[in-house]
A = this chain, B = another copy of it.
């Protein structure tokens, strides 16, 4: 069973890396750009046929290692 985890910085947390990309794009002449924020995308393949159990395992991974819950938030999606 395959899942995608999208990890983004919380709304109030500054994203300097995203800002740099944003400014670079603007200096390249892209004027309609309002805002850009960068995050992480993780694709996880599990040997587990029960979706509920699988989701719980992914939640555990996020809380224990993948996500810094102080500044980041995450979404889990089945793919």
Say which residue of B8, B28, B60, B61 sits within 8 Å of A43 (CB atoms). Answer: B8
Task: Give the distance in Å from the alpha carbon of A36 to the alpha carbon of B37 in the complex.
Answer: 23
Q: Count the copies.
A: 2
In the complex the two chains form, is B7's CB within 8 Å of A61's CB?
no
Taking the complex as formed, is A65 at the interface, i.e. its CB lies under 8 A from any CB of chain B?
Answer: yes
Chain A positions 20-79 with a Cβ under 8 Å from a chain B Cβ: 21, 24-25, 28, 30, 32-48, 54, 57, 60-61, 64-66
Known: A21-B65, A65-B24, A66-B21. A42 touches B38 (CB 8 A): yes
- Chain A residues in the interface with B (C-beta under 8 A): 4, 6-8, 18, 21, 24-25, 28, 30, 32-48, 54, 57, 60-61, 64-66
| 7 residue pairs A–B, Cβ–Cβ below 8 Å | A21-B42, A30-B57, A36-B45, A37-B42, A37-B43, A38-B42, A39-B43
